[in-house]
Structure 1
Amino acid sequence: MSRLPRLRSSSPDRTHLASDAGPSLPGRTTTSLKRKAIIEEEEEAGDQPRKLAAVGATRPNRPLQPSRTATNTRGAALPKPLTKPRAPTLTQSTRGTSAPPTSSKPPTRSTTSRTPATRVVSGARPASRPSDDKRFNELQTQLTSIEAARAADAERLARDMEAERNKVAELQANHLALSRELATAKSQELNQRRELVHASDEIENMKKKHLREVADLEADIRKRDRELREVNEDLRLCRSDLERERETVSSLKNTISHQSTAQLTLTTQNHTLEAQSTALQSQIDAYARTVSELTLKLESTQKQVDDLKKEAMDSELVRRKLHNMVQELKGNIRVFCRVRPVLPSDLTTYAASLSTSGSASSGSEGSLDFEKSKEELQANLAFPDTRDHKEIVVSSSSSSATGQERKEIYNFGFDRVFEPDSTQAEVFEEISQLAQSCTDGYNVCIFAYGQTGSGKSFTMEGGATDSSAGMIPRAVEQVFRVAEEMKSRGWEYKMEGQFLEIYNETINDLLGKGEFDKKKHEIKHDAKTGSTRVTDVEVVPLTSPSQVKSLLAIAQSRRSVAATLMNERSSRSHSVFTLRISGVNVGIDGCVGTGERCEGSLNLVDLAGSERLNVSFANGADKERVRETQNINKSLSALGDVIAALGEKGEKGEKHIPYRNSKLTYLLQNSLSGNSKTLMVLNLSPLAAHLQESLTSLRFATKVNNTTIGTAKKQVRTS
């Protein structure tokens, strides 16, 4: 087996000869002679380097296969020795391997025809011309060269044949050795297979025997377990019988003992009971005197409790009056201003406007120097009133036509100004008293005003965490908490809520189950009760603040939003959440109440973004968005007209109030007409790019803050 690599790496000629070796030796000799004649002709013609035929071009090289004789029998018979081939007889048809004659002229017909005649005559030379003698000599020379070449070819062929015979003998010897090794390997393999089969049979028999033994042992174990269970059961029964017998004996002994001492015990008990009866009679007399004393104390205490309950109810009326007086002193329409902080999204949106010193060249938000970039984007806003927090100062600089820098400073004052670091809890702390007024029977309206992206929705609805909850969930939670506290003062409340949207002067029900614009909702005002109702809207009874959070999530998913140039997802509609609360004084623990009834409402309004049309849609390509912005600005303008008309009415007397100019103002008519306590939360963007929009919002809020709409009236009905 180790000789195979050497055979494969032999020369191409040897491989070819080995592959062509067979019993037909004359055919192989003829092929070799032809190949050698062709090679010599190529060497003589043009001295070109000879080219051997590619070995394996027609037959692939493959390793020697053992013969059937070597496979089947141990002593393989060697093939017959090769016979030495004889040189072929030279005839006129045999092609010579020597060079052609040097004469360029072919022999003539006459010369060729006379040549045999010349060969027939021996010893006599016919008379001929000198040219014929010369031709004859040339032919004789060619014949001699052909004979010499043939002798050289025969000698070279004999040498090649001898070398080939040696190679064939070596290959046969290798073949024989490989055949023997293969036979030996096969015999060893057969022996190993027999041993393997024998071992497998033994293993299989041992497995079967082992399985039988395991089955027998398992059967014995199951039998032993069954016997053990039976023995344990018998033992348990014997023990239970023994215990019953012991208990019977013990009970009999106790009965005998008790019967022997029963008479003595009964006699002793009789004397004891007589003594106890005397003592109990004296205790009964003492208890009777104590009960009479406690009855007198209970009557006096009950009288004091009734007086305290009446005093608590009276104090509740006083508290409501004082609370209402405080709210009226603060003003029935108040304005808060809140400036949101600079957000990381602002840096991304306005990264192009940042200078190189702001580290905006890298283009990634993580690499921006937040503090420097924030100072660069932020407008010049100041809050000089550090004690009462009621002022905001806006500074701006611009270039005049002459190129000189012109600085302008604007001072604005409101009821409360919240700086960018103010929290949701701090904002609601100022609003919580208005939620108390709602339970007292007043209409309360809180609306957020400001341009798109100034934080109105965050102020009203808030975020997902409890610390970032907005005014709507906090106000509802405050109302529920106050209603629970008022139960101890004889009041019972029922609450219900609705959530509407005004989009393109159309009212949509955010809590409804149908599609928008399928129902025509109408606004109805009740002049007697001062309440406002909208037809065909879903009014949900409220039982807990968590229910309000789920309603807000449903409404948020249905609210109309769209993209503008000012904000990627800007609210394009006004949302109005209305919480109606009705209460009745039923008394406390049997104390008859006054029967007083009150109805209040809390309107929490998130207005759409107020912005100029040329800022929100610079190119005017989206006609639908342009129409939305026009309707938003129209409704906000109508709100400003209503507030201005209310201010003029307070100064000059009767004046027409244009509530019907907008669905928003008509819906909030009772909240703006003086029968309500109104709060406007102005939201401002801190960015310098929004400075002009911020100034417009501040001027509008100042006009609202300077308006007096009268005194709120309590909605009370007596049963």
Structure 2
Amino acid sequence: MAANHTSLKRKAIMEEEEEALDQPRKLPAIGAMRPARPLQPSRTTTNVTTTRGAVAPKPLTRPRAPILTRSTRGTSAPPTAAKPPSKTPGPSRTTTGRVASGSRPAAGGRTTDDKRFNDLQSQLTSIEEARAADAARLAADMEAERNKVAELQANHLAISKELANAKSQELNQRRELIHASDEIENLKKKHGREVMDLEMDIKKRDREIREVTEDLRVCRSDLERERETVSALKNTISHQSAAHLTLTTQNHALEAQSTALQSQIDVYASTVSDLTLKLEAAQKQVEDLKREAMDSELVRRKLHNMVQELKGNIRVFCRVRPVLPSDVVTYSGSLSSSSSTSSRSDGGNIDQEKAKEDLQANMTFPDTRDHKEIVVASSSSSATGQERKEVHNFGFDRVFEPECSQSEVFEEISQLAQSCTDGYNVCIFAYGQTGSGKSFTMEGGSSDATAGMIPRAVEQVFRVTSEMKSRGWEYKLEGQFLEIYNETINDLLGKGEFDEKKHEIKHDAKTGSTRVTDIEVVKLTSPSQVKSLLAIAQSRRSVAATMMNERSSRSHSVFTLRISGVNVGVDGCAGTGERCEGSLNLVDLAGSERLNVSFANGADKERVRETQNINKSLSALGDVIAALGEKGGDKHIPYRNSKLTYLLQNSLSGNSKTLMVLNLSPLAAHLQESLTSLRFATKVNNTTIGTAKKQTRTS
């Protein structure tokens, strides 16, 4: 996805650069390239401004000579064209008439006019010459300006060409850089594939190591059995040798009896004496065998606990349920119309097998020998619309495939039930989203083949306690069934209504036991009694409908089996007086789900509050396990953050054996919830909570 996004970004940058090269370059204003100069006046301008700033007068027409008429009365001289009349009032009519009446004054006036005309003519000529000089200077300035403009345009054209060449060179360099980046991306991908191959090789080597270890363990067990066989044969030979000696002695005695009837009474007395000695030896041997049996039971317990410790005091099993017919009915609308049409039979029913394959998520189980790995493949769409595929590998102590039965699951759990009778605290809890099969795993169905972990564990405990009577042990069994709903403890075996009694959790630091006040504790005498108690508790448990499961458990159920035993001896052989007290907590957690999945509309506030309390308690359980896994002697463990963790404090501490059964849904619609559960289970599986301690007491 990152490589595609990078290539798209580079393509957009190249297109922008090409568009920038194709657009014409704007020329800068001429005024920005050279200092401002005042414009010279145009030749066509009528009013020409001179260098001194004076305005030239309009061209004058040549004045005509005045027409002289003889009259008795003289006229005044014509006014000049260039000079404006004076502001002073002219002579009166009588004065003018007197001046013009004579001939002398008329001639003098003409001479004056000619002189003025000549002056005006010379003035006009100088003005014309100045105008011509200005026009020539203006033309020279304009020609210089045009030359400068042409030179600037030529310079601009050259600079534009150089800029275009520089842009083209930069574009080529960027293309080379993009090509180099693509090569780097390809090298990174190749390196990632090589790293993945190396990781797969490492996992393969780890599996081979586990297989060799398992073969070594089998060989050691075979060697131990052979040693036991050899020891038994040696004992048999010794017994046969003793028998042979006895027969030889009897033969000698009979021969002596046949030869000497006189000594028959002595022979009989000797035989009785020998039989008495043999009886005492046999009685002593029986007592030794009884003590050896008791000692071997202690050794068996130590070895059994050692095996459980080697497996880990906190283990995680993963179980994937099969696709149910109800899933096909619920999610049949999500199937494509083409597959639905092609998978219909003549009766109009959807082909169940085809529908199940379409609904299943991509889950595989590569470890066919030890069954400890699960691989989940998921696909998602990136921001650019491209499909991204991811493969997730998870490893646990045991992975049960959808076809595994209840008996196969319990076969792995049965050893923990044995540890409970040996005096250890054991906690087995089922975790997973709503509808993943937790209640079926813990409580099971109505038939013997589908019985869950709770009835099977109780049945095994009764069978073990019955066998231990021959070794001098006597046990008492008690059971209780609680429900934690909205951080409130309810007694599922009580006779009263819920929430009428306030139950409190009490821990005894000396004995390591946990008690709940005002709770119904039932003495257990047979496995059938436990089945009836489970039926009563199931009818009283809080369930509600969610969008993911029509009958989803909305509470945590905790079935606690307390076992107390004492060694009293057998057949007159005195016991050791050793006492052991263990507890087996079988927890069916409420379904882990998100609010936006189960209650998208948020209309049912009560269901929303239930879901919030469930998620809070599950989060507190994860915090407790994480705190137990951290190294440090004085690390605070937040047991009090929820009623569930506080109730299971002694079963979740370092003095207990804990097993988490992760239940997964195989549907593709629940893939994200399944991945979240797998990551949480991996975190639990990587946690080490210390060494379990036996709860014993010597009387």
Q: What TM-score comes out, normalization by structure 2 length?
A: 0.61
Say whether 1:520 aligns with 2:506. no
Helix, strand or coil for the counterpart of 2:591? coil
Partner of 1:712: 692
Partner of 2:280: 299
State the 1:293 CA deviation. Answer: 4.5
Partner of 2:401: 419
Contact 2:543 2:553 in 1 (8 A): yes
Q: Aligned equivalents of 1:673 and 1:439: distance in 2? A: 19
Contact 2:424 2:692 in 1 (8 A): yes
Partner of 2:637: 657
Say whether 1:318 aligns with 2:294. no
Partner of 2:476: 494
State the 1:341 CA deviation. Answer: 0.3
1:279-678 to 2 correspondences below 5 Å: 292-359=273-340, 367-648=349-630, 651-678=631-658
State the 1:658 CA deviation. Answer: 0.6
Q: Deviations over 1:576-611 (max 9, x none)?
A: 000000000011211111100000000000000000
Q: Aligned equivalents of 1:656 and 1:635: distance in 2? A: 18
Q: Deviations over 1:322-349 (max 9, x none)?
A: 1111111111000000000000000000
Say whether 1:699 aligns with 2:679. yes
Deviates more, 1:651-660 or 1:288-297: 288-297
Contact 1:347 1:365 in 2 (8 A): no
Helix, strand or coil for the counterpart of 1:689? helix
Give unpaired runs (5+ residues) of structure 1.
1-281
Q: Which has the greater radius of gyration?
A: 1
Helix, strand or coil for the counterpart of 1:367? coil
CA gap of 1:300–1:559, structure 2 versus 1, over 3 A, is: same
CA gap of 1:352–1:544, structure 2 versus 1, over 3 A, is: same
Q: Aligned equivalents of 2:697 and 2:585: distance in 1? A: 21
1:675-694 to 2 correspondences below 5 Å: 675-694=655-674
State the 1:287 CA deviation. Answer: 8.3
Q: Aligned equivalents of 2:378 and 2:548: distance in 1? A: 21
Helix, strand or coil for the counterpart of 1:359? helix
Partner amino acid, structure 1, of 2:597: V
Partner amino acid, structure 2, of 1:482: V
Helix, strand or coil for the counterpart of 2:691? coil
CA gap of 1:691–1:488, structure 2 versus 1, over 3 A, is: same
Contact 2:345 2:351 in 1 (8 A): no
CA gap of 1:364–1:285, structure 2 versus 1, over 3 A, is: farther
Helix, strand or coil for the counterpart of 2:417? helix
Q: Aligned equivalents of 1:577 and 1:405: distance in 2? A: 46
State the 1:652 CA deviation. Answer: 3.1
State the 1:296 CA deviation. Answer: 2.9
Q: Aligned equivalents of 1:469 and 1:358: distance in 2? A: 37
Q: Aligned equivalents of 1:365 and 1:679: distance in 2? A: 47
Contact 1:358 1:369 in 2 (8 A): no
Q: Deviations over 1:620-657 (max 9, x none)?
A: 10011111000000000000111111111xx2332111
Helix, strand or coil for the counterpart of 2:560? strand
Contact 2:560 2:586 in 1 (8 A): yes
State the 1:292 CA deviation. Answer: 4.9
CA gap of 1:364–1:287, structure 2 versus 1, over 3 A, is: farther
CA gap of 1:713–1:351, structure 2 versus 1, over 3 A, is: same
1:16-31 to 2 correspondences below 5 Å: none
Partner of 2:29: none
CA gap of 1:615–1:286, structure 2 versus 1, over 3 A, is: same
RMSD across aligned C-alpha pairs, in angstroms? 1.9
Partner amino acid, structure 2, of 1:332: N
Q: Aligned equivalents of 2:596 and 2:527: distance in 1? A: 42
Helix, strand or coil for the counterpart of 1:697? helix
Q: Aligned equivalents of 2:393 and 2:338: distance in 1? A: 31
Helix, strand or coil for the counterpart of 2:480? strand
Q: Deviations over 1:391-418 (max 9, x none)?
A: 1111011121212111011111111000
Q: Aligned equivalents of 1:499 and 1:435: distance in 2? A: 18
Q: Deviations over 1:420-451 (max 9, x none)?
A: 00010110010000011001000000000000
Helix, strand or coil for the counterpart of 2:579? strand
Partner amino acid, structure 2, of 1:672: L
Q: Deviations over 1:56-112 (max 9, x none)?
A: xxxxxxxxxxxxxxxxxxxxxxxxxxxxxxxxxxxxxxxxxxxxxxxxxxxxxxxxx
Q: Deviations over 1:540-592 (max 9, x none)?
A: 00011111001000000000011000100000000000000000001121111
Helix, strand or coil for the counterpart of 2:502? coil
Contact 2:470 2:570 in 1 (8 A): yes
Helix, strand or coil for the counterpart of 1:337? strand
State the 1:471 CA deviation. Answer: 0.3
Partner amino acid, structure 1, of 2:641: N
Contact 1:642 1:665 in 2 (8 A): yes
Q: What TM-score comes out, normalization by structure 1 length?
A: 0.59
Partner of 1:215: none
State the 1:371 CA deviation. Answer: 1.4
CA gap of 1:363–1:607, structure 2 versus 1, over 3 A, is: farther
Contact 2:424 2:582 in 1 (8 A): yes
Contact 2:380 2:389 in 1 (8 A): yes
Count of residue pairs the alignment pairs up: 436
CA gap of 1:287–1:352, structure 2 versus 1, over 3 A, is: farther
Contact 2:320 2:400 in 1 (8 A): yes
CA gap of 1:621–1:637, structure 2 versus 1, over 3 A, is: same
Contact 2:344 2:351 in 1 (8 A): no
Q: Aligned equivalents of 2:670 and 2:290: distance in 1? A: 57
Q: Aligned equivalents of 2:363 and 2:291: distance in 1? A: 54
State the 1:300 CA deviation. Answer: 1.2
Partner amino acid, structure 2, of 1:684: L
State the 1:358 CA deviation. Answer: 3.7
Q: Aligned equivalents of 1:598 and 1:500: distance in 2? A: 24
Q: Deviations over 1:638-692 (max 9, x none)?
A: 00111111111xx233211110000000000001111110000000000000001
